[in-house]
Amino acid sequence: MAEFTMELNDDQKQVRDWIHGFAADVIRPAAAEWDEREETPWPVIQEAAKVGIYSLDFYAQQFFDPTGLGIPMAMEELFWGDAGIALSIVGTGLAAIGVVANGTEEQIGTWIPQMYGTPDDVKVAAFCSSEPDAGSDVGAMRTRAVYDQAKDEWVLNGTKTWATNGGIANVHIVVAVVDPELGTKGHASFIVPPATPGLSQGQKFKKHGIRASHTAEVVLEDVRVPGSCLLGGKDKLDERLARARERAAAGGGERVKNAAMATFEASRPAVGAMAVGTARAAYEVALDYARTRTQFGRPIIDNQGVAFQLADMRTQIDAARLLVWRASWMAVAGKPFTSAEGSMSKLYASEVAKKVTAQAVQILGGNGFTREYPVERMHRDSAIYTIFEGTSEIQRLVIARTLSGMPIR
């Protein structure tokens, strides 16, 4: 187990600089165009695939960094480039991680390559969990999966929403209810192969921010997938459901629920790192602008009102990164989140991103309000961080419950 440190080693610095170079040279110049087009930036994803950033191998290498800093470092640099394009690049990883975490070796070997395609023919994947009436309340999920034993097929029906790459993906990973009586423990994940009949794209959302990332509904109407597309296999599912029924009968439902919550806790620092990247980008634009913009015969950074804002912005960004790195190290080191440190990092970093980008717009004044300068886009993009992967309100609820031990509602 690596000791916690704030100093990146030489290998990490090399990777950081490589990703930063790609973000500066490829992502940033394309950011405004794809934000305006509100379309998936296929050429940029292809470039990322050619250099090795758009691949499972890249994310696996960062994930298995023994310090825990590989993923947050990569996320910060990519999202420093542009949040919408970066989410298009990393969005497939959500589905891939679901397969790697829950699938068999055969499923991993079969489906992961189809999620990414090749540098000459890139593909994307979608992870479909949220529903119109089941966002933070995953227990309200209605999409059902029923097993047809005669054909060894699962039949899926329902509607998913807020799916990154939903409908345009080559492979969809769909979370569905297989046993309604078990609540969240009665859920399972399914692979929906390319061109499966019954799966269609519903509404494509026109969003406030991250507009280069495709977000849409996914409609499932009698979608039949082979039994081999149940992640982990049916034997494993039957064993898990049997254990859940035994625990529920013994009054152990809350313990199971808390164990599931701990899994979500471990993934939240990555979102915090995305927020740090956007906040840092806006701060750097504001700092450069304040140094060069003159009013009343001097740079505006000479005014305390501006200089103090920049001081606060930088302090908050560094504090957010510290929380993200601490939680990331704790996750890889197997340290329990006894104070909901994962939620703390996501909550604080996402709130900082919204505040810092707003301050950047203010420092640029009228220029900051126009699309001639990137802080306007960064401010719009930052709004997503307090919403997805658990809203700020949910993060506060998780933290409060963890600290108090009480079922706060």
Between CA 338 and CA 357 the distance in angstroms is 31
Active-site residue, selected from the candidate residues 47, 131, 351, 389:
389
Task: Judge whether 96 and 54 are in contact, CB under 8 Å.
Answer: no
Query: What's CA 208's distance to the chain center, in Å?
Result: 17
Active site residue 389: yes
**DSSP letters spanning 55-101:** SHHHHHHHHT-TTS-HHHHHHHHHHHH-HHHHHHHHHHHHHHHHHHH
Q: Is 245 helix (H, G, I), strand (E, B) or coil?
A: helix
C-alpha 211/C-alpha 164 separation (Å) is: 11
| Contact assessment for residue 389 and residue 271, using Cβ atoms and an 8 Å cutoff | yes
Q: Which tokens belong to 217?
A: 């509904």
Q: What's the chain's Rg over C-alpha atoms? A: 22
- Distance between start and end Cα atoms, the chain: 37
| 97 alpha carbon, distance to own chain's centre | 11
Residue 312's nearest CA partner among 286, 331, 294 is 286
User: What are the backbone angles phi and psi of residue 119, rounded to the nearest 5°?
Assistant: -60, -25
Catalytic residues: 389
